[in-house]
Each structure stands twice: as C-alpha cells, then as structure tokens.
Structure 1
Amino acid sequence: MDSTTDAWLRNRRRLRLTQTATSGAFLLPIMAVFVILFAVPFAQTIYYAFTDFSGYSTDVSFVGFANYAKVFADPALMQGLAFTLLYAIATTVLITVCAIPLAIALNQRFVGRNAVRSVFFFLSVPSMAILGIVWQYIFSPLDSGVLNTIVRSLFGADAVLWLSESSLARGCVIFVGVWAGVGWHATLYLAYLQAVPRDLYEQAEVDGANAWQKFVAITLPQLIPCIVVSTFLLMTAGLKVYDLPYTLTKGGPGFATNTLTQSIIVQGIAQGRADLGSALAVIFTVAVAAVVLAQLALANRLERTLS
C-alpha cells in the first residue's frame, strides 16, 4: 500500500511539473514580447526623464527631477492633464449611462430590430480621426458650418463658436466621443443581456415587480461584470485619446482640448525634447495605473454590494 501511494505521489508530482513546464513554454513568447515592447522601453523612458536627453545626442547629463518640475510648472501641460481626465471620466460615465438603456431597448422584440442594432454598432466603425474630420465640418464656427446653418435656418440666430470657445470645444470633443462609443458598448451590454435567464423576469412579474424594480434587482446585478469590462475599456481609451481631439480641434482653442498624449508627441518628437516627453510619459503611465486600480477597486466593491 505504501509503495503504491509513493508511486502515485511521484506520478502526481511528475504530471504537475510537466504541466508547469508546458504552461511556462506557452508564456515565454508573451513574456518576451512584454519585456521587449514594454519593460525595456519604459525603463529607458524613466532613465531619460532624469536627464537632458534631446532625442538625438548621446551625450546626456543627469538633471534629477528638473524635467518633472518643468512639467508641473507648465500651465499648458497641466491643462492637457486636466482635459484628459475630464474626457476620460465624462465619456465613461455618459457612455455607460446611455449604453445600458439603449441595450435594454435593443433587447426588446420589434420590427427591424437587427437593422437598428447594426446602425448603432456601425457608428463606432470609422476611426476617431475620420470622425474628428467629419465633425469638424459639422461643428465649424463659420456661418457655412452644418450646425450653424441649421441653427440660422430654424431660429435665425448668429453663428455659434462651437470650436472657437473653450467650454464649447471641450463639450464638442466629449460629445463626439460619446456618439462614437455608445453603439459599440450597447452591443457589449446586449450580449450580456441575452445571457440573462428569462425565468428571473417571469418570476419577478409574478411577484408584481415593475420595470424599474426588475432593472434594479435583476438586470443591473447581472450586468456588473460587463460594466467592469466596459468602464475599464472606456477609461483606458479615454486616458490615451489623441486622434479625436487633434483632428477635431488641433488641441485648441489655445490648449483647451490638448491631451497628455498630444503633449508627449509634441514635446518628445516634434520639438526634440525627449527629456520632457519622457517625464510626461512616466507621469501619464503612473496616472493611468492609479486611475485603473481605483476603478477596479470601486467595481469590485460595487459588485460585492449588488451581488
């Protein structure tokens, strides 16, 4: 009996080692890609952030935290950080608030349901750069702008400075971001809604629950995993946004719609200031990590509360 047990334990250990080695072999290419494309460049970025590296000369000097001090002393860069956070938070909240009711509506049975679903999904198919160019023409502050033409025809009002006034420009960028993302995320929520058992709703109806009570007690808890995924994607995309504000407003008026990614590209590449660009990149990475971790912690707490 003891020899049989020992043999079984040896086979068990051998099988476990084989499985571990196999898993490690599959993970090696992923780890290699991570090290080459992220870890090494990020380490170089941290190093350059403490030097006066211009991006061209190999003769660099250590400057300590001087680059970080310049970043935080530059009002344009701070304005870019503020708008990036505003855009990420606003688009995440607004898309989530709009996408869930839209998904519930698209989950109902009506004539042409598949066609309507396709229309909302394809709103997000064009790239953000193309959408920025199209909406730049629509929001043009000139009298010939599409929206200004409609406003003048219906109300006889003067041209509105949609992209020439700071608050309006920020609102326009956020609006286009929400307009482009609602359909895709509604489709994501729709996929989760279709997996919710109909028996739960039928039992709630028998108990006399109304539509709002069914949403709070059944739909919302069932959508928590999807909300976590959707908001995570929205926050990460919003924090690294570049193409939409750049094509729509070029970061203007002034620096009202400037983003951190645009500042990194301009400072680090266009102006040959790799030192400031590296410092910005480090700050950006730390900020993204902090926001994402806070978001995940909040989502886990919400999931525990509603489950």
Structure 2
Amino acid sequence: MALTLEAPPVAPRPATGRPRPASRGRTTGDGFAANIFLLPIVAIFLLLVAVPTAQSVFYSFTDSKGFSPSYEWVGLRNYAAVFSDPSLLAGLGFTLLFAGATTVIITALAIPLAVALNKRFFGRTFARSLFFFVGVPALAIVGLIWQYIFSPLGSGAVNVVLGNLGLDPVPWLADSTLARFCVIFVAVWAAVGWHATLYLAYLQAIPGDLYEQAQIDGANGRQQFWAITMPELVPALVVSTFLLVTSGLKVYDLPFTMTKGGPGYSTNTITQQIMTRGLSQFDVGVGSALAVLFTVACLAVVLVQMSAASALSRRFS
C-alpha cells in the first residue's frame, strides 16, 4: 500500500501595503507643543537682549540723562564724542590689548601644559586639580588678592620680599606700563589652568594607537605633535580662543578690582567706561553710543575669529 505525502496548505501572505502616514493633526499638535516650550526662552531673549539692545540704539541718538523722561534728538553727536574723548579711546586700546594678549599667551601656555599633564608622572592627579582650581574663584576676588600682592607701597607682598633682599619697592600698580603688565599677568595666571584642562579633555580622546604607529614609522616627538596632536586639538582650540576673545573684550571685574582703571586711564576698559558714563555720570546717550559701537566691534572680532578658526580647521583636516 503506497503512502502519499501531501504538503500542508500554505496560508496566503497578507498584502503588505505602504505604512499609513501619521495624521496631520498629530504632527501639528506635536509641533505646537514644542513651540510652547520655546516660549520662555524667546520671552527671556526679548526681555533681556532684544529690548535693551533696541533701547540702547535709540538712546544713543539722544541726550538722555537717564533720570529724566525728557530728551532731545542729537543725531550722531554722541558717536562723535566717543571718538574724540581720550579716556574712551584709552579704554578701547587697553581692552583690545588685554583681549589679544591674554588669548595668545594663554593658548601658547595651555597647550604645552595640557600635553605635560597628559603624561604619566607621580602626583599627576594633584597637579591637574591644582591647575584647574586656580581658575575657580571669581576674578573680582582674584583681583583683590593680587592687588595686595602687587601693592606699590612698601607693605605689598612683592615689595616686602624685595625689601628683604635689599631692593627698593617697585610701583607695580602705580606705573602705567607695569599696571597693564600686572593685570594681564593675573588674567593669564587665573585662566591658563582651566584652558589646559579643556585641551587635556581632547588629548585623552586621541587613540594611543596613532602614536604607536607614528613611533614605528620613526616620527619624533615634534613630528607626532604637529601630525597627530595638533589636528586633534583644533576643535578645542576653536572653543578656547572663542571663550578667551569674548571674555577679554567684556572684561571688567579684574582690572577694576586691581587698579580701578588707573593709573590715569591706562587699565581702563570699555565696559568700565560704559558703566561710568551711563550710571555714574548720567550720560546715557554717550554710554549707549559706546555700547552700540562696542557691540558692533565685538561682532566683527568674533566673525574674524570664526573665519580664522574655519581656515585652521581646513588646514589641519
């Protein structure tokens, strides 16, 4: 008797159609909900940035004194006063000097320091913490401390040491050139550790295999730095220099606490001049004009810095 094997019936496969798109109403609802969460940010931006900026531009064309609702339209007279006032020009000059010098010096010191802290040695963790926590205190507090250290009087810390060595006291903060040097020196001392920590974070992300392959190929330390380390540090370099330039342009607390802008106007900054003219001397028109010019100058400097950073990224890519 022969057995006949029959294959079991195969169930028909369901027809596969295109997935149904989400309903337009649901998509619109999600977008509306997302926009609601953006409303507080937009409101804060309008309240704290857009409206004050518009008011500054408006008052820069008036003779407003701030305490009186009456004012007159003066056109470009306030802007002409900015470029004819030696104190304002001195503040602009030191601000540019401070921003440029601190950016260059801190970058030149922070990268080698980060490379050194990335190596293995006894007490490496303590050294990293020491350099980082130097930049934690507020610059106003740092300025007060260094004001005592660099005091031009014989009771200043540095002059006491010089006196014990038989040397005459040095007018650190009473001389224009020395005062500029001291302010820039303290700014570098306070920030170099923080920026070195930033570079160190990027250094630790570089694979060690790259250096091993370079050593096998016979590359020395300098060649490894320019071929491997520096290209990998370009993103950190862009961030660091951007922060240094912007913080240097808007600096106020450190020079003010150390020298009050003196001697004369040698360490005066634009931000200090804006506050002095607008709040202390009640010359809101000139203060607003200076603020508008300073904002435009900052935007121009930042655009140049971003263009240079883009060119640097293409150079090492």
TM-score scaled by length of structure 1: 0.94
Alignment of 1:29-178 (within 5 A): 29-154=40-165, 156-178=166-188
Q: Kindly state the Cα deviation for residue 17 of structure 1 after the two structures are TM-superposed.
A: 5.1
Describe the SS at the equivalent of 2:266: coil
Counterpart of 1:217 in structure 2 is 227
Q: Kindly state the Cα deviation for residue 16 of structure 1 after the two structures are TM-superposed.
A: 6.3
Q: 1:204 aligns with which of 194, 211, 214?
A: 214
CA distance in 2, matches of 1:251, 1:136: 13
Describe the SS at the equivalent of 2:193: helix
Alignment of 1:256-295 (within 5 A): 256-295=266-305
Q: 1:231 aligns with which of 229, 241, 247?
A: 241
Q: Which has the larger radius of gyration?
A: 2
CA distance in 1, matches of 2:171, 2:79: 35
Q: Kindly state the Cα deviation for residue 157 of structure 1 after the two structures are TM-superposed.
A: 2.5
The residue identity in structure 2 corresponding to 1:198 is G
CA distance in 1, matches of 2:240, 2:30: 33
The residue identity in structure 2 corresponding to 1:285 is T
Q: Deviations over 1:159-211 (max 9, x none)?
A: 11111111110010000000000011111111111111111111111111111
Q: Kindly state the Cα deviation for residue 18 of structure 1 after the two structures are TM-superposed.
A: 5.7
TM-score scaled by length of structure 2: 0.91
Describe the SS at the equivalent of 1:255: coil
RMSD between aligned alpha carbons?
A: 1.6
Counterpart of 1:253 in structure 2 is 263
Describe the SS at the equivalent of 1:11: coil
Q: Kindly state the Cα deviation for residue 26 of structure 1 after the two structures are TM-superposed.
A: 3.4
Q: Kindly state the Cα deviation for residue 29 of structure 1 after the two structures are TM-superposed.
A: 2.2
Describe the SS at the equivalent of 2:22: helix
Q: Tell me which protein shows more helix as a share of its residues.
A: 1
CA distance in 1, matches of 2:175, 2:203: 41
CA distance in 2, matches of 1:175, 1:218: 31
Matched, 1:305 2:306: no
Aligned pair in 2 of structure 1 residues 265, 25: CA closer, same or farther (>3 Å)?
same
Aligned pair in 2 of structure 1 residues 273, 222: CA closer, same or farther (>3 Å)?
same
CA distance in 2, matches of 1:30, 1:124: 30
Aligned pair in 2 of structure 1 residues 196, 15: CA closer, same or farther (>3 Å)?
farther
Q: 1:184 aligns with which of 189, 194, 198?
A: 194
Q: Deviations over 1:114-154 (max 9, x none)?
A: 11111111111111111111111111112221112223333
Describe the SS at the equivalent of 2:72: coil
Aligned pair in 2 of structure 1 residues 16, 303: CA closer, same or farther (>3 Å)?
farther
Matched residue count: 301
CA distance in 2, matches of 1:118, 1:305: 33
